[in-house]
Structure 1
Amino acid sequence: MNREQISRIAHADHPIKSPLDDDSVSRLLERGAPRGDERVLDLGCGTAEWLLRALATRPRLHAEGVDISEDALAQARAEAERLGVRERLVLHQRAAEDFVSPQPFDLVVSVGATHAFGGLLPTLAAARKHLAPGGRVLIGEGFWDRTPSPEAVEMLGEFTDLATTVDRVEADGWTPVTGHVSTRRELDDYEWACWGSLASWALDHPAHPDSAQALETAALRRSEWLRVYRDTWGFVSLVLRRTSD
Structure 2
Amino acid sequence: MDKQILFLLEKGLIELNISINSTQKDQLLFFINMIEKNNRLFNLTGFKTHVDILVDLIFDSLSFLKTSFPLKEINTAIDVGTGAGIPGIPLNILFPHIHFYYLDSNHKKINFIKIVASQLNLKHSFFLCDRAESLGHDSIYREYFDFAMTRALSSLSTNLELVTPFIKVMGKAVFFKGSSYQKEISLSSNSFSLLNCHLESILSIPIPLSNRQNYFIVVSKSSSTPIDYPRRIGIPQKKPL
Whether these two folds match at TM > 0.5 is yes
Distance across 1 between alignment mates of 2:44 and 2:77: 28
For residue 182 of structure 2, the aligned residue among 159, 163, 169 is 163
TM-score under structure 2 normalisation?
Answer: 0.59
Aligned to 2:109: 72
Give how far 1:91 is off. 0.8
For residue 111 of structure 1, the aligned residue among 148, 151, 154 is 151
The reply on whether 1:241 has 2:216 as its aligned counterpart is no
Distance across 1 between alignment mates of 2:97 and 2:44: 35
SS at match of 2:79: strand
SS at match of 1:128: helix
Distance across 1 between alignment mates of 2:117 and 2:44: 23
Greater relative contact order (Cα < 8 A, sep 6+):
1
Q: Which runs of 5+ in 2 are unaligned?
A: 1-38, 224-241
Aligned to 1:177: 201
Contact 1:32-1:239 within 8 A present in 2 as well: no
Aligned to 2:14: none
Give how far 1:63 is off. 1.0
Cα shift readout 1:33-52 (whole Å, capped 9, x = no counterpart)? 241x4210111011223222
* Distance change (3 Å), C-alpha of 1:58 and 1:23: closer
The reply on whether 1:31 has 2:72 as its aligned counterpart is no
Matches within 5 A, 1:68-107: 68-85=105-122, 87-99=123-135, 100=138, 102-103=140-141, 104-107=144-147
Matched to 1:43, the amino acid is V
Distance across 1 between alignment mates of 2:62 and 2:206: 11
For residue 46 of structure 1, the aligned residue among 83, 89, 95 is 83
Distance across 2 between alignment mates of 1:130 and 1:187: 33
User: What is the total number of aligned residue pairs between the two structures?
Assistant: 175
The reply on whether 1:62 has 2:99 as its aligned counterpart is yes
SS at match of 2:184: helix
Distance across 2 between alignment mates of 1:240 and 1:69: 26
SS at match of 2:128: strand
For residue 130 of structure 1, the aligned residue among 144, 166, 179 is 166
SS at match of 1:31: coil
Distance across 2 between alignment mates of 1:6 and 1:45: 10
Give how far 1:74 is off. 2.3
Distance across 2 between alignment mates of 1:239 and 1:186: 23
Cα shift readout 1:21-72 (whole Å, capped 9, x = no counterpart)? 46513335x516241x421011101122322223222232101111122222
Identity rate, percent: 13
Distance across 1 between alignment mates of 2:61 and 2:170: 27
RMSD: 3.4
Larger Rg: 1
Contact 1:40-1:62 within 8 A present in 2 as well: yes
Contact 1:20-1:186 within 8 A present in 2 as well: no
Matched to 1:128, the amino acid is T
Distance across 2 between alignment mates of 1:19 and 1:180: 17
Contact 1:61-1:88 within 8 A present in 2 as well: yes
Distance across 2 between alignment mates of 1:20 and 1:166: 24
Aligned to 1:206: none
* Distance change (3 Å), C-alpha of 1:84 and 1:131: same
Q: Which runs of 5+ in 1 are unaligned?
A: 145-161, 189-233
Contact 2:61-2:87 within 8 A present in 1 as well: no
SS at match of 1:47: coil
Distance across 2 between alignment mates of 1:83 and 1:19: 15
